[in-house]
Amino acid sequence: MAGKKEFLIKINLDFCKACGLCYSYCPTKAIGPDHEFRASVKDVAKCIGCLQCENYCPDFAIEIEEKK
């Protein structure tokens, strides 16, 4: 039986402009705003790898990778 897939959430804060699109579209709230409203990993275990945050980020600041 295969286990639950796990993902890495990489956020490049040098690119993040704090628009909030990434955490607005995250269905599990694995990411959310930090104290400056930039993207922040809140609970990586909640990430389902849907890529909504990565796809909606206009600044290419987020990358999701499946753990091997």
DSSP state string for 1-68 = ------EEEEE-TTT-----HHHHH-TT-SEEE-TTS-EEES-GGG-----HHHHH-TT--EEEEE--
Q: Domain coordinates of the chain in residue numbers?
A: 7-66
- 7-66 has CATH 3.30.565.10 classification: no
pLDDT in tens, 3-43: 789 999 999 999 999 999 999 999 999 999 999 999 999 99
| Residue type present at position 28 | T
| Confidence band, pLDDT 50/70/90 cuts, at residue 1 | low
